[in-house]
């Protein structure tokens, strides 16, 4: 456990050591707001030396979302004249923030994924808040936008540091689902909460009064403060894999009442705002967060996943046999490792008839399982988010590796459940159960095969487990031949 260093320590470290360029830029831009005479010229000079930043600012300023006219702007100063100083200043801060946080090349995969999710959530919250203040003046609307974007800057900045401390905290948080327990762990490890760290950065960097007040008094009924709070809560809800429809309805109703519109109208505005958010993230050059932005096309029903008709892959004995024959040939003739893996997963996906399957490999420390290849529904999203910590030797994943045998994990509520394990983890992966088996070369386990039927909400039967295990065992024979 790290020593109790507190918010002041982390604020100073982030400002002086980890993110001095962002800190300096934000401070300069915030000071410009107080200088009406020379602010436009200074604004242009403050970003002139950074060609990549200037390019992103102009791309956003010329996008259909901001520039409603015909003429394109070619300088930051000109953009400020056309769009307004507050708008262009906040575009500068947003572009610099996204660049600084998302282009850190020294983060572990788990921490980087966590940061992407957090930045996507913050960006969506900022767009929601801006939409909810659309009938207010430009200055207040833009201040609410930037306050919402920076509402979790302490947490984002901490994860962007990288290194041993964020890695350790990420692993510990990954196996805790209770929000209160997570917050307690953060305070114990850092000597401060992420909110306190954000407050420290807001004061140190001279960020606006609206942000500082929204952090200190989140229950304040002033429209702009209440708007920031609701936008953050809505974005957090929409980012969840399975949103709570009751809680979502509650927040939509609160937002609708604040704007004096119907809940249906509010729902449509949220959906439209999300569509705009996707486009604007691309204009900012932040494609990395796009796949983590919510897709609330069915938000009224409490569903946030993309509207894709789930394909039910039935058991296909003929296809199974064809793929097993291929693998048998690989066991005779040395074949590339990746080709064996591909053929095995194709057989499991379309032969055994699962919704998604993949291979998770052990990290060098053998303390994490990380996705190598995923196939089926939500494959790319699953590949980016699917990281399992092996802290608990009693977990089914640790047992699978240590005992070198397959496991069939049914839903905890099922009377046919063959393995007892943490209900929360089962729910997180698939509450309809899943299959896992070791991927091994000789006596050494390198990772696991995984399969579930989460999208179509189906359970496995004994025959499915037998077929899955057969594919995995034959694949391991092929791997041994491949590496001999």
> Tens digit of pLDDT for each residue in 222-242?
888 999 999 999 999 888 877
Matching residue, tokens 């260093």: 5
Q: Is residue 23 pLDDT above 50, yes or no?
A: yes
Give the strand pairing for 434-441 and 388-389: unpaired
The confidence band for 295, taking pLDDT boundaries of 50, 70 and 90, is: low
pLDDT of 413 reads: 46
Residue partners of 68: CB distance under 8 A and separation at least 6 = none
- pLDDT score of 409: 87
- Looking at 188-202, 264-278, 375-389, which range is the least confident one? 375-389
- Strand-pairing partners, residue 171, are none
More confident residue, 143 or 423: 143
Are residues 194 and 152 in contact, defined by beta-carbon separation less than 8 angstroms?
A: yes
Backbone φ and ψ for 436, nearest 5 degrees, come out as: -135, 150
Q: What is the pLDDT of residue 417?
A: 45
Report the alpha-carbon distance of residue 86 to residue 47 in Å, rounded.
Answer: 15
Q: Which of 87, 93, 151 is nearest to 119 (CA)?
A: 151
Portion of the chain with pLDDT greater than 90, in percent: 29
Segments in 73-193 forming alpha helices (H): 76-83, 85-102, 109-132, 138-149, 153-161, 164-174, 179-190
At residue 229, the pLDDT reads 92
Is the confidence at residue 85, as pLDDT, over 80?
Answer: no
State how far the Cα of 445 lies from the Cα of 330, in Å rounded to an integer. Answer: 20
First-to-last C-alpha distance (Å) of the chain: 43
pLDDT confidence of residue 2: 43
In this structure, the strands spanning 407-409 and 388-389 are: unpaired
The model's confidence at residue 473, banded by pLDDT at 50, 70 and 90, is very high
**Where does the pLDDT of residue 416 fall: very low under 50, low under 70, confident under 90, or very high at 90 and above?**
very low
Whether the model clears a pTM of 0.75, i.e. scores above it, the answer is no
CB count in 10 Å sphere of residue 205: 22
Segment 82-111 mean pLDDT: 81
Distance CA 419, CA 424 (A): 14
Q: Match 């209160």 to its residue by tokens.
A: 180
Rounded CA separation 279/274 (Å): 9
Q: Indicate whether 376 pLDDT > 90.
A: no
Any idea which of 27-31, 62-66, 333-337 has the lowest mean pLDDT? 27-31
Q: What is the pLDDT at residue 46?
A: 62
């Amino acid at each position: 456990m790290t020593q109790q260093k507190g918010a002041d320590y982390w604020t100073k470290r982030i400002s002086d050591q980890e993110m001095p360029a962002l800190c300096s830029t934000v401070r300069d831009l915030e000071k410009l707001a107080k200088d009406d005479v020379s602010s436009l010229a200074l604004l242009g000079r403050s970003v002139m030396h950074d060609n990549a930043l200037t390019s992103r600012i102009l791309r956003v300023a010329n996008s259909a979302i901001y520039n409603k006219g015909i003429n394109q702007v070619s300088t930051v100063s000109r953009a400020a004249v056309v769009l307004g100083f507050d708008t262009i200043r906040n575009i500068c801060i947003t572009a610099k923030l996204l660049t600084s946080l998302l282009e850190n090349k020294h983060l572990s995969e788990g921490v980087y994924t966590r940061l992407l999710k957090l930045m996507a959530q913050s960006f969506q919250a900022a767009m929601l808040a801006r939409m909810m203040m659309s009938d207010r003046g430009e200055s207040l609307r833009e201040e609410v936008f930037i306050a919402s974007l920076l509402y979790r800057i302490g947490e984002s900045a901490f994860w962007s540091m990288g290194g041993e401390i964020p890695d350790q905290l990420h692993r510990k948080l990954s196996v805790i689902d209770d929000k209160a327990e997570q917050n307690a762990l953060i305070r114990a490890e850092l000597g401060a909460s992420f909110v306190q760290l954000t407050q420290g950065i807001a004061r140190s960097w001279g960020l606006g009064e609206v942000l500082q007040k929204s952090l200190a008094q989140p229950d304040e009924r002033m429209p702009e403060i209440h708007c920031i709070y609701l936008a953050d809560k809505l974005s957090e809800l929409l980012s969840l894999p399975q949103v709570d429809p009751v809680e979502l309805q509650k927040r939509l109703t609160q937002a609708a009442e604040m704007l004096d519109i119907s809940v249906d109208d509010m729902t449509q505005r949220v959906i439209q705002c999300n569509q705009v958010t996707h486009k604007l993230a691309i204009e900012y050059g932040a494609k990395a967060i796009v796949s983590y932005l919510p897709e609330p096309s069915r938000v009224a029903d409490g569903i946030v996943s993309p509207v894709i008709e789930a394909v039910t892959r039935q058991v296909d004995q003929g296809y199974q046999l064809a793929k097993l024959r291929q693998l048998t040939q690989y066991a005779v003739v040395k074949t590339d490792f990746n080709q064996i893996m591909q053929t095995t997963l194709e057989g499991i996906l379309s032969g055994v008839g699962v919704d998604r399957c993949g291979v998770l490999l052990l990290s060098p420390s053998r303390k994490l399982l990380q996705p190598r290849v995923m196939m089926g529904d939500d494959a790319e999203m699953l590949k980016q988010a699917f990281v399992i910590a092996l802290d608990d030797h009693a977990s089914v994943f640790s047992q699978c590796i240590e005992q070198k045998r397959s496991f069939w994990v049914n839903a905890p509520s099922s009377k046919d459940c063959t393995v007892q394990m943490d209900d929360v983890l089962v729910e997180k992966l698939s509450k309809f159960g899943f299959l896992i088996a070791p991927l091994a070369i000789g006596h050494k386990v390198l990772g696991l095969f995984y399969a579930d039927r989460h999208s179509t909400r189906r359970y496995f039967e004994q025959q499915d487990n037998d077929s899955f295990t057969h594919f995995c065992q034959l694949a391991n024979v092929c791997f041994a031949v491949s590496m001999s």
